[in-house]
């Protein structure tokens, strides 16, 4: 442990989200770090977070983090965009573990890859109206212009599994049209559900537009962290089993989970 | 008061719902009983109820009812279909006030108006899979055949205000198609949001199909009750002002409220 009590030597990643959307983050983490055990907590009983008061979001995020730590996690990934932007500082102040979240790496990548400085952000109404991406991007570079576009119907469409339906394509076209007119060259998927629609979004926006997928960006960042500590080499075979916890696990939620992750996973009901 | 402490002599209607959908019930109550003051509570912080455990729904429904009583209501209307079917008995056992709900009058009307005994019910996945309408209808008449059809995208479409869009029409057509094939002659709108789409639903189903709107049915029942007690004549001018409380009242919720009720209403944030 080399005196750093906060750095795990057998990494166990804990991911939390306000619901099922964070499963796209879990999927990317398993793709980049297949041998690192993962504990997921989806707060399906209290979803969504985005529309709630900041103090409530912070309180929920703390509870979710504690839940993951109690279940053996020692690296925390905040998959929920609302919790990431609202509770990041509070979590880092309270918990002595590495805490990653989806917003920062996406903002950094977007600022780096844009050529013309015109970046689109799509998300729920709550995320787009919170202006978190615009604020963070403008901090990095004052010349960046951020064009936000709320796409509130995409979450229900994804949860229904309507990933390639004509209706979804029409609605997506309508949502993305203003961004096309604004000549953006980079588009941030500001909602955990949207990576499920990435091929469709890329097609509608054209090859010229670079899509930034926060699920992938945060997974790469966690991998870089684990690599940098040499943690993978010393502990190749994990003893903790991947487990996916949800605070509500009704029939409907179970169906939606299956749409996000197709291979069999261990799903349990639990609350912080 | 004639010795009946539970019967109000100046009626004040308290309506609760898991969110904004119950505003269709509030609207019908104001249409049928414009002079009776109304207190609304929408539990937008904990919406939806349908996916939650029955014991949780009962607990929330009791809290919501207490909230309305504390704010002066003396007639309770359960606008939420999940709370209506799950918590009705528990509320009547605990509270000495008249308690109306959306399911019973709709079931009675549907059973009465059907000619061929084939009744369709549309709702959220949770409502349709709970089979509450089928159970209640079969209790009334064992020969009735109930065909349930979940329409999960209609709530987000209504909340977006996409009431007459091409995409909404296409999705509605897809949802209603199996019901048309099943030769139903009566269709129950088993979700508080759906009355907003009533003209479109009627058009897609054809004139032959009778639409049962629970918002209207429960409002008529409350009116009949108030009329029967002669309460309107003795107290024509109410002193309580209509107020709409919501447990979460973010920007997004406020927009959705405006889509449901177009005239200005007094909206406040409050929790049980």
Chain A residue closest to B128 (CA)?
A: A252
Beta carbons within 8 Å of A147's beta carbon, 6+ residues apart: A118, A119, A120, A121, A178, A179, A182, A184
A218-233 pLDDT, tens digit each: 999 999 999 888 777 5
Last residue of a domain, one of A195, A214, A233: A214
Question: In terms of domains, do B181 and B109 share one?
Answer: yes
B157-174 pLDDT, tens digit each: 999 999 999 999 999 999
Placement of tokens 């209504």 in the chain: B158
CB-nearest partner of B51 from A52, A171, A252: A252
Identify the domain containing residue A239 by its residue range. 13-101+216-269
The ipTM assigned to this model is 0.74
Which positions of B are annotated as active-site residues? 80, 191
Residue B240 in this model has a pLDDT that exceeds 80: no
Instruction: Tell which wins on pLDDT, B7 or A47.
Output: A47
Mean pLDDT of chain A: 91
Q: What is the pTM of this model?
A: 0.83
Question: In terms of domains, do A223 and A253 share one?
Answer: yes
Write phi, then psi, for A39 (nearest 5 degrees).
-115, 125
Question: In terms of domains, do A220 and A209 share one?
Answer: no
Question: In terms of domains, do B80 and B155 share one?
Answer: no
Task: Give pLDDT, residue B144.
Answer: 95
Task: Give pLDDT, residue A211.
Answer: 98
- Active-site residue flag, A151: no
The Cα–Cα gap between B110 and B92 comes to 24
CB-nearest partner of A167 from B53, B56, B171: B171
A132-169 pLDDT, tens digit each: 999 999 999 999 999 999 999 999 999 999 999 999 99
Segment B258-269 mean pLDDT: 92
Segment B198-219 mean pLDDT: 96
Question: In terms of domains, do A124 and A205 share one?
Answer: yes
Question: In terms of domains, do A189 and A244 share one?
Answer: no
Task: Give pLDDT, residue B5.
Answer: 42
- Its sign, for the CA torsion A179, A184, A187, A188, is negative
- Tell me the shortest Cα–Cα distance from B125 to chain A, in angstroms: 7
Instruction: Tell which wins on pLDDT, A65 or A140.
Output: A65
B127-160 pLDDT, tens digit each: 998 899 999 999 999 999 999 999 999 999 999 9
A167, A172, A247, best to mutate vs chain B, most B CBs in 10 Å: A167
- Quick one: how far is CA B47 from the chain centroid? 14
Per the structure, the count of domains in chain B is 2
Residue A67 in this model has a pLDDT that exceeds 70: yes
User: What residue ranges in chain B does DSSP mark as E strands?
Assistant: 13-17, 38-42, 75-78, 99-101, 118-123, 145-150, 186-189, 210-212, 243-246, 267-269
Strand partners, B40: B15, B244
């Amino acid at each position: 442990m080399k005196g750093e009590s906060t750095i795990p030597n057998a990494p166990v990643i804990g991911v939390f989200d306000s619901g099922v959307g964070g499963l796209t983050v879990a999927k990317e983490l398993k793709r980049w770090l297949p041998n690192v055990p993962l504990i997921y907590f989806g707060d399906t009983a209290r979803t969504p977070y985005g529309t709630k008061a900041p103090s409530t979001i912070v309180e929920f995020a703390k509870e979710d983090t504690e839940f993951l730590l109690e279940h053996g996690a020692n690296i925390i990934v905040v998959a929920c965009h609302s919790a990431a932007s609202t509770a990041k500082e509070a979590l880092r102040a309270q918990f002595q573990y590495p805490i990653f979240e989806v917003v920062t790496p996406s903002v950094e990548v977007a600022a780096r890859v844009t050529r013309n400085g015109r970046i689109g952000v799509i998300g729920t109404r709550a995320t787009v109206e919170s202006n978190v991406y615009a604020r963070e991007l403008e901090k990095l570079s004052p010349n960046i212009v951020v064009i936000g576009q709320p796409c509130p119907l995409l979450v229900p469409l994804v949860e229904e599994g309507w990933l390639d339906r004509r209706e979804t394509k029409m609605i997506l076209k309508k949502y993305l049209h203003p961004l096309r007119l604004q000549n953006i060259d980079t588009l941030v998927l500001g909602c955990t559900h949207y990576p499920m629609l990435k091929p469709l979004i890329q097609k509608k926006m054209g090859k010229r537009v670079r899509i930034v997928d926060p699920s992938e960006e945060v997974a790469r960042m966690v991998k870089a962290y684990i690599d940098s500590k040499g943690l993978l080499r010393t502990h190749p075979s994990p003893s903790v089993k991947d487990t996916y916890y949800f605070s509500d696990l009704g029939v409907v939620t179970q169906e939606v989970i299956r749409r996000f992750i197709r291979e069999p996973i261990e799903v349990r009901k639990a609350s912080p």
